[in-house]
Amino acid sequence: MGEAVLPREHLLVIYYHNVPESLPGYLEHIFPDTQITIYRSERDVPVPKELYRQATILATFFHVPDPEDAKNLKLVHTTSAGIDHLQHLPLLRDTQIPISTSSGLHGPPIAEWTIMNWLITSRGFLKTQQAQKDHIWDRNTPGYLNSLYDQVGKRVGILGYGSIGRQIARIAVAMGMTVHAYTASPRLTPESRRDTGYIVPGTGDPDGSLPVSWHHGSDKESLHKFISLGLDHLVVALPLTPQTTRLLGKEEFALLAQFNSSTTASLAPTANSKAKPFLTNISRGRVLDQDALIEALQDGTLGGAALDVTDPEPLPADSKLWDAPNLTISPHTSSLGVEYFRRAMDILALNAQRLRKGEPLINGYNRQRGY
């Protein structure tokens, strides 16, 4: 007797932009035996229920079905790294359908965005750009000598040492900086420090060997000890959870400035500039107390900051955040690029294979932890 023919999978991809011309062909390439439906959605317009009911695999960002319309679903893959925008929905709350995320693909673009913002500040880019626009050959040697600096010897503290933090660490170390990692749970052994999620080939810190020190905790005391290491940069790359909401505020910014390496030279003897600490947030806006951040930038507690996320989003035109000194803001675009969606679908293809084999998912969502 012949082998039983397995039912054909049906992949529903809900895409909320104009579909790239190469997408259908690429999906057919990585899902050769799968029926594929691509649906262009509007954020606040419901997706037809019949599409959900036919699907066995769903790739989405905003839209997921109600449980009664998900009877055939075997896997839901989100094209975002965090899914705090979906956690309240019944599909996540009331079912056990496996969920996977696109964590890992964001490392290269967000790391480049992060380093770009550091260099914009340290190399005086905005000043020279304005001089170019004004057609002025501004070679104010004393001014540049006393205001510009490089990153060699700077200390980088990374809150949340996932794929993004690891790629930032990779570039930072190449620039002569030292990296200190902070995670919620202890990573005391080499095996526990390995990256078990999706890794863009040739990037990141797969074995967790780049930090010169590892720290952990979920309480303020542990966080404050970390912030007090003498950091020049604090990078926030945490998931948004009840525990991380408003995690950083006036007290934390003051500690960061108090123990910055420019004021504690013995902690970082090679960091010879007097630059004040720089904050980078590529997590979620609600991790920070934004009013406290504005105050810290205005009074010079912090030397600068870069935000790709705000609270709320979109940021209202009359928000005081826009005019805070030494701050750069981008509209949650640090991860975007032509590589984004293909990498998200590569993760889905890997997980579809793992699901068939009964293997653990890459980037599997843990309902108890909330990420």
Q: What are the structural domains of the chain? A: 9-104+339-357 (3.40.50.720), 107-329 (3.40.50.720)
pLDDT (average), residues 341-365 = 95
Distance between CA atoms of 136 and 130, rounded to whole angstroms?
Answer: 9
Angle at CA of residue 230, ends 225 and 231, nearest 5°? 100
Q: Are 100 and 347 in contact (CB under 8 A)?
A: yes
Q: Is 293 exposed, middle or buried (0-12, 13-18, 19+ CB in 10 A)?
A: buried
Is residue 270 very low, low, confident or very high in pLDDT (cuts 50, 70, 90)? Answer: very low
Q: State whether the Cα torsion 141-145-146-147 is positive or negative.
A: positive
Is residue 269 very low, low, confident or very high in pLDDT (cuts 50, 70, 90)? Answer: very low
Q: Does residue 3 register a pLDDT over 70? A: no
User: Left (φ > 0), alpha (ψ -120 to 50) or beta: where does 298 sit?
Assistant: alpha
pLDDT (average), residues 81-92 = 90
Q: Does residue 63 register a pLDDT over 80? A: yes
Q: Does residue 154 register a pLDDT over 60? A: yes
Q: Work out the angle between the directed axes of helices 250-258 and 220-227 (0-180°, nearest 10).
A: 30
What pLDDT does 1 receive? 40
What pLDDT does 370 receive? 77
Q: Is 201 exposed, middle or buried (0-12, 13-18, 19+ CB in 10 A)?
A: exposed
What pLDDT does 271 receive? 45
Is residue 274 very low, low, confident or very high in pLDDT (cuts 50, 70, 90)? Answer: low
